[in-house]
Amino acid sequence: MRAEDYLPHRPPFLFITALRSVEPGQSASGSWQLTGEEAFFAGHFPGRPTLPGVLMVEALAQLGGVAVLADPKFAGRLPLFGGIERARFRRQVVPGDRLDLEVTLGRMSARAGKGTGRATVGGELACQAELLFVLVDSTPAEQNV
Q: Residue 75 and residue 72: Cα distance in Å, rounded? A: 5
pTM comes to: 0.94
Residue 108 lies in a domain: yes
Q: Is residue 99 helix, strand or coil? A: strand
Residue 56 lies in a domain: yes
Residue 82 lies in a domain: yes
Whether 44 sits among the annotated catalytic residues: the reply is yes
Residue 85 lies in a domain: yes
Provide the phi-psi class of 97: left if phi over 0, else alpha when psi is between -120 and 50, else beta: beta
Q: Which of 44, 77, 91, 118 is catalytic?
A: 44
Residue 142 lies in a domain: no
Q: Which amino acid is at 57?
A: V
CATH of the domain at 103: 3.10.129.10
Number of compact structural domains in the chain: 1
21-58 pLDDT tens trace: 999 999 999 999 999 999 999 999 999 999 999 999 99
Q: In 7-52, which ranges are continuous DSSP H helix?
A: 40-43
pLDDT the model gives residue 32: 98
Residue 78 lies in a domain: yes
pLDDT the model gives residue 141: 60
State which residues form the domain around 85.
Answer: 3-137
CB 7 within 8 A of CB 14: yes
Residue 41 lies in a domain: yes
68-84 pLDDT tens trace: 999 999 999 999 999 99
